[in-house]
Structures are given as C-alpha cells and as structure tokens.
Amino acid sequence: MYSRINFFKEAVKNIKTLGTIAPSSRFLSKKMLRKIDFQKAEVLVELGPGNGAITNYILESLAPNATLICFEINDNFYHQLKKINHPQLIVLKACAEKIEEELAKLNIYKVPYIISSLPLTIIPDEVSDEILKKSFNILENNGTFIQYQYSLTYYKKLKKVFKDAILLEFEPLNIPPAFIYHCKKVK
C-alpha cells in the first residue's frame, strides 16, 4: 500500500484538499468503526478515503454480501485505491457533494453508514454544507455519519444537521490527535 513517505509527499502538495500530513492511525480507524454493525450493513460509503488506511479496516469487517463505495478526488489516492484487489470495493473518482447522484447511478438510495475523513473545516462552507445535507438525505433513518476532525470547530455545523444526536469521542493515538463524531439521523 501507499507508504507514509509517499502520503506525506502527497499531503505537502495537496494540503488544502487533504488537510493532514499523516494517514489515519489504526487506533483512529478502529475507534471510528467500532459502533458499526457490519453484519447488517449491505452498503457502506466512505468519503475521502485517501490512501485507504480506514478502507482496509472496513474491508476486513464487511459481511460477505456487503459493498463499500469510496469517493476520492485526489488522482494519486484514487489510483492507489483502485489497486486494492477486493470484490466488495467500488472506488469512484467523484466529489462527496455528488453522493446522491453517484449512488443513484448504482441504484442505491439509502445507506446505513457513511464514514468520512474529509477535512470539512478547510472545505468552503457552501461545499461542506452541501456534503452534509446530501449525506443526511442519503442516510437511512437511524443511520450514522461518522466523521473525524482535528478540532471541535466543526461541532456546531454538525449539530445544525444532526441536532442532539451526536456522540463525541477523542483519539489521542493519532497524528494529530482527533475528535470522532458519530452523528445519528433521527427523524
């Protein structure tokens, strides 16, 4: 897979879209995914998978009939993800704000989980607002949007969409340490 040095080089070139200089740690990956009921999830969506650090943990846990759909816009990361030889993985070269349209092309209209590594705090407000709105729309009732960020500055925006249905966790064993938001769609 993509080495840490290659990830760092890509991050330096694209810091405004990647938002980090290191891939997610196994500690962050496992904490983000531990509340997912993989046996009941037929389709999972990952936004901004980068080099696949979290993707690989998802693939290890998928039920035999489940599918993981990844949205990645970075050319180098997209090509690295395409090299993962896994029959349950679909990698799309598409922006996360096109989630509804891209999933509709696959005849998917609702999903139970969205796992996001998008650097929402550095994405323009109108784009991040659209991503959150469309992610909320595509989630099943009681579905979960799982997002990590390096600060609490995005909490208010998530609260506007998901109201009080947000569980906040912290993972210190990541570079940098990260906050994890488990946002439940409650109607």
Mean pLDDT across 53-65:
96
Smallest CA-to-CA distance from 18 within 2, 36, 40, 34 is with 2
The per-residue pLDDT for range 62-79, each reduced to its tens digit, is 999 999 999 999 999 999
Looking at CATH, the fold of the domain delimited by 4-184 is given as: Rossmann fold (3.40.50)
From 129, 112, 132, 128, select the one nearest 120 (Cα to Cα): 128
List, in sequence order, every residue forming a beta bridge with 97; answer none if it has no partner: none
With contact defined as beta carbons under 8 Å apart, do 12 and 21 qualify? yes
Return the ∠ at Cα 126 (arms to 55 and 164), rounded to 5°.
70
Across 22-26, 50-54, 63-67, least confident range: 22-26
Percent of the chain past pLDDT 70, that is, above it, reads 88
- 148-159 pLDDT, tens digit each: 999 999 999 999
- Distance, CA of 51 to CA of 26 (rounded, Å): 13
What is the chain's mean pLDDT, rounded?
A: 90
Domain boundaries, the chain: 4-184
- For 122-165, the pLDDT digits (tens) are 999 999 999 999 999 999 999 999 999 999 999 999 999 999 89
Q: What is the pLDDT of residues 161-184, one digit of tens each?
A: 999 899 999 999 999 999 999 999
pLDDT above 90: residue 20: no
pLDDT (0 to 100) of residue 16: 45
